[in-house]
Structure 1
Amino acid sequence: MKINGIQRVDQSYKTTEAIKPQKASKPSLQDSVEISREGLQLNQTTAGISSERLAKVEELKQKINAGKYQIDPEKIAAKIASYYQK
């Protein structure tokens, strides 16, 4: 038995070449962060923050930068436990 038309099928596969992916531009090697307008506004507004809180935050920043900030794991565990016991 002779099968005719195989060449036509074979030719249809040859005419449709695989689409090669285009080279993308080189990815940036640097990380970047974009802050929304709302985020910038939150960062710039300190009217709602008390002076006591600002003083405490500044004290914590200084301790962290000096390497003297100590974390009390028992206090953290107690706070976590009290949160989930509600």
Structure 2
Amino acid sequence: MKIHHIGPAGVNPYQRQLAKTERLATEKASRDQVEISKEAKELQEAASWEQARQAKLDELRQQIENGTYQVDPRAVAKRMIEYYRNHR
């Protein structure tokens, strides 16, 4: 008595599933991308702002120590008036 296999012989269904998942993983990997949010970009810029602010503070400190710092009385008065108008 001879038994003939019906369908393809030597096919491993698990191997096909493995190949399919590997192919999908490769496709997903090629489509991945990174986006930096607006907030993250602002945080990166904040570091440079801090350096510029520190440089300006150092410059003002030097002017005060040397006695060369000049106050603009009109600008101070203008800012005081704006402050009191906006904070009633």
**Structure 2 length normalisation: TM-score?**
0.41
More helix by share: 2
From the CA coordinates, give the structure whose radius of gyration is larger. 2
**Structure 1 length normalisation: TM-score?**
0.42
